[in-house]
Each structure stands twice: as structure tokens, then as C-alpha cells.
A and B are shown apart, each in its own frame.
Chain A
Amino acid sequence: QALVPAEEAALEYLFQYGYLQKPLEGPHVFSPEDIMEALRAFQQASELPVSGWLDDATRARMRQPRCGLADPFNQKSLK
């Protein structure tokens, strides 16, 4: 609820493209650790500095035109 619109959009992006997975059971609330983990995966896949924080470069990358299919990237697949 405290997210500003830009952060909401980033969260939506991470969710829409497969970096954040909704749990099958329990509340659909992502913990800060989940979000940082997803951001790290996105940054790593995008060849951005990996911080786990929603910085300007990460926001800019998320605004770029792209394919509508989800990405397969998570820490396991990247490894």
C-alpha cells in the first residue's frame, strides 16, 4: 500500500514477466526479500549492476519496448 506508482509499475513488470511468482497458497503478498531477489534476477539478465534495488537504470530498462512473453530468468536459471 505504501508503494509509489513507479514502484507499483515495477512490481507489476516483475510479476507480469515471471520474475515474481505468486504463491499457490497463502496471501498474495510479496516480501521485500522476494522483490529484491526478483530485481536481482532482472538486473542480472539485463546486464545491469546487480543491487536488488529499484534504481534509475532498472526503471529505464523496464520502460523499454519488449516482447510480451515472460522471461525465464531467475537465480536458478541464470546460474
Chain B
Amino acid sequence: YLLLGRWGKKHLTFRILNLPSTLPSHVARAALLQAFQYWSNVTPLTFQEVKTGWADIRLSFHGRQSLYCSNTFDGPGRVLAHADIPELGSVHFDEDELWTEGTYRGVNLRIIAAHELGHALGLGHSRYTKALMAPVYAGYHPYFKLHPDDVAGIQALYGKKIPETRDEEEMELSTVSPVPTEPSPMPDPCSGELDAMMLGPGGKTYAFKGDYVWTVTNSGRGPLFRISALWEGLPGNLDAAVYSPRTQRIYFFKGDKVWRYINFKMVPGFPRKLNRIAPNLDAAFYWPFNKKVFLLKGLGYWQWDELAPVDFSRYPQPISSLFTGVPPQPSAAVSRHDGRVYFFKGKKYWRLNRQLRVEKGYPRSIAHDWMHCHPQTPDATLSSGVTTGSVMKRTLTTTLSVTDPTLNADTVLGLTPSATD
């Protein structure tokens, strides 16, 4: 590593001045925030976002010309970004690049941002070609982490993090072996109770029931897939599922175990046994306002910070103390980008406002509003609870096709950046 300078303080403010047009804003923001965390995980550095006024580190996207930067960019490819050394604080990205997240296409914003922040914090280029601080972009890595040379460099500037904490969950303990499950019948999305709902990567909403999962959008629902065909190693009949845009992690809960995935890849070492929260959770969701994961069971909830030690002895707290008007023991819960939280139970769902109070007019029908199910007609339904032949045929065809291990789950589900809802 090479050292170019250092900040005279360890608490730094940052401001995101604009975002790329190629990513949803919440995805781009999450990528940038994660980039800071790579460095704060291994040093005593702390970062605080400000929305207005001056900030120590300022991130922005500009094109070939900029009124505020003398270093022009060169269009797609070649130069991707640049940054100033301490204590200047400018971090600039080429807005002409195809900035992406969670895919091998384009340029990964999170990794490039982490690299440029390395410069802003005082690191020069590393001669280790596999280090984050290598000058050439090495491409997207699903399990990206800092190279030992990156860690050694930044710790040479700011010291080690004290106390040294692992970037792992506090609530998990020993590794357990995956338990195989027997396949259950294909569920009817228009009837029955959901096991779990999740607003996943790419802004897709997933519904889980039995051994199957499908996506739901404003315009309709997608075909059913075996859960294990998309998330290899994951059983069906889940208790809860939650995706954290903060860490890009997906957590699945069943019984006393938790599975962690990044996109469709299980993180090594999982599943693990839940240690400090109750087994058999009812529901889980991520609340964007405080960046915490909420875990619900019975009449209580746990609030979990993925990246900081949590005093779980304070939990469970009564659900009624925080959520007003919700049903007890929901079967699923999910939050949207706008901060609204949805609770699901039986055939109904409840929408909560930002004050976590159930809004007027709820509960409403899950089948009608979420699953786009319409009143049954003789042409559409053979008998109660059985979907039409064409729908079933399409579903079966798709379900069989995803057993082909050569198929990519992103492609099958239309999660490539070209797909739009």
C-alpha cells in the first residue's frame, strides 16, 4: 500500500450530492453507504451523512465536463472515478458509466466507491492487483471484501478498530447443517396464508408459501418457483424473510435457524442457529428510517442492528408499544422504500404509515391487492382453488425449467438491469 495523507480526526461527515441514473436511488445510496462501512469496519473511523451544508467527504457524479472539477471524465469505460487525498474530500464518479449493483454487468458502484473512499482517506494505489486499492477495476465480486493490504494500509493511518468486532450477527451462534425438506404441493397464490414477504434486491417483492416463491408487482404476479431452485440450500415453509439494503444481505428464518444470502448465493457458514432471539419467528422486515431489522414473534418484537452490537436483553418489546392497530402474530411483514410497513395475516393485510400506525381503510384483501386475483369465472377456474390450465401449464413449465442448473436465477426472474417493472 501507499499512504498519501490522513485526516486529523476520526469522525468524518459525508454528503451525497447526486446519484447515477442507472440505478434506483435507494440501491445507489445503499451501495455508497456500504462503501463507507468497509473502512469503518476495520478502523476507528466513523462516518455521518449530512444532507445539507459542508461535509468532509463529498460524493458526486459528473460527465466529461464539470464546472467544479478540473479532471474531466472520458465517457464509458477507461477512467471510472477519481478522488482527492486528505483533507480535500472530493470523490467523483463518471456519470457515463453503467453503474450497477449485484450483477456482473456494468461497473459495481459499491466497489468503486470503496476504492475512491480509500483515496479520500489517504490510501494510494496498491501494487497487489487483487487489492481494492489496485488501480485497475477487477470486476464485480459477490463476496467482495477488503484485501489484507487494504486493511494494513488503512490501519497504518488510523489504527485498528477498538474493540475489534466481527462484521457478523451477534445473535447467531453455532453453525448447523442444512436440513432437507420434502416438497409440498404447489400453492395457490389466491388463497391461503403467506409464509413470508420480502422486498428483495432490485426492488422485487417476493411472496413465499410452502416450497414456492413468486414475485408480485403493480401489474401482476410472476410464475411460481421452487424456493430451493432460486436459493440453493434453502428449505421451504419459511417463518420469515427480510432483505437489508444496508448490507445487501437476505436473511431467511425457519425454526431456530437463520440463513444468509447475497442475492442467490448462500454465505459460507450458514445456516446458523439463532441464539439470542426466539425461534419460530412470525415475520421480519427492514425499516429504512432507522436501518434496523425488526423481528416479530407472538406479541413481541426484536430490533436488530446488523452492524453494531445489540443488547438483546432489552427484547422482546411489546409490538403494541411501537405498532398501533396491527394484528397479533402476523404471518408476514414487509416495508417499502417509502417507509410504509405492511403486515399480513390470513387473507388480509394492514398498511402502516411512517408513524407505524395502521392507516384508515385497512385491512384489505391480499388476494385482490397483491396477488391480482379476480373473481372466479367458469372459464378461468376449473374448480375452487385450482388455477387455469394455461396458468398452471406456464407455472409447471417454468418450475421445471429452473431445475436446469445452467439457468441463471437473475435471468429466470427477469432481474437483469434491462428488466423493468
Contact partners of A47 in chain B: CB under 8 A:
129
Number of chain A residues whose Cβ lies closer than 8 Å to a Cβ of chain B: 17
Is the CB of B345 closer than 8 A to any CB of chain A? no
The answer, among A45, A67, A72, A77, for a CB contact under 8 Å with B79, is: A67
State whether A68 touches B79 (Cβ < 8 A): yes
B-binding segment of A27-35, A49-57, A58-66: A58-66
State whether A45 touches B81 (Cβ < 8 A): no
Is the CB of B231 closer than 8 A to any CB of chain A? no
The answer, among A17, A63, A73, for a CB contact under 8 Å with B127, is: A73
Min Cβ gap B421→A in Å is 29
Secondary structure of the A side of the interface? loop
Is the CB of A69 closer than 8 A to any CB of chain B? yes
Assembly CA distance A66 to B136 (angstroms) = 4
State whether A69 touches B136 (Cβ < 8 A): no
Contact partners of A65 in chain B: CB under 8 A:
77-80, 97, 107, 136-137
Is the CB of A7 closer than 8 A to any CB of chain B? no
Contact partners of A21 in chain B: CB under 8 A:
none
The answer, among A63, A66, A77, for a CB contact under 8 Å with B135, is: A66
The answer, among B83, B112, B116, B129, for a CB contact under 8 Å with A46, is: B129
Contact partners of B107 in chain A: CB under 8 A:
65
Is the CB of B71 closer than 8 A to any CB of chain A? yes
Is the CB of B12 closer than 8 A to any CB of chain A? no
Assembly CA distance A77 to B125 (angstroms) = 12
Contact partners of A78 in chain B: CB under 8 A:
127
Is the CB of A8 closer than 8 A to any CB of chain B? no
The answer, among B73, B112, B125, B129, for a CB contact under 8 Å with A69, is: B125
Contact partners of A45 in chain B: CB under 8 A:
127
Contact partners of A73 in chain B: CB under 8 A:
125, 127
Q: Give B99-137 as 1s and 0s: 1 = Cβ < 8 Å from A's Cβ atoms.
A: 000000001000010011001000011010100000111
Taking A68-B71, A69-B83 as contacts, is the C-beta distance between A46 and B136 under 8 angstroms? yes
Contact partners of A66 in chain B: CB under 8 A:
78-80, 135-137
Min Cβ gap A17→B in Å is 7
Taking A17-B135, A61-B136 as contacts, is the C-beta distance between A69 and B80 under 8 angstroms? no
Assembly CA distance A10 to B358 (angstroms) = 63
Assembly CA distance A68 to B2 (angstroms) = 16
Residues 125 to 172 of chain B near chain A (Cβ within 8 Å): 125, 127, 129, 135-137
Is the CB of B82 closer than 8 A to any CB of chain A? yes
The answer, among A46, A61, A63, A72, for a CB contact under 8 Å with B124, is: A72
Closest Cβ neighbor of A73 among chain B residues: B127
Closest 3 CB pairs of A and B: A68-B82, A68-B79, A65-B137
Residues in A lying within 8 Å of B, measured CB to CB: 17, 45-47, 61, 63-69, 71-73, 77-78
Known contacts A64-B136, A65-B136, A67-B81, then 19 further A-B pairs from the complex at CB < 8 Å, ordered by chain A residue? A17-B135, A46-B136, A47-B129, A61-B136, A65-B78, A65-B107, A65-B137, A66-B80, A66-B135, A67-B82, A67-B125, A67-B135, A67-B137, A68-B71, A68-B80, A68-B82, A72-B124, A72-B125, A73-B127
27 contacts across the A-B interface (CB closer than 8 A): A45-B127, A46-B136, A61-B136, A64-B136, A64-B137, A65-B77, A65-B80, A65-B136, A66-B78, A66-B135, A66-B137, A67-B79, A67-B81, A67-B112, A67-B119, A67-B125, A67-B136, A67-B137, A69-B83, A69-B119, A69-B124, A69-B125, A71-B135, A72-B2, A72-B124, A73-B125, A73-B127
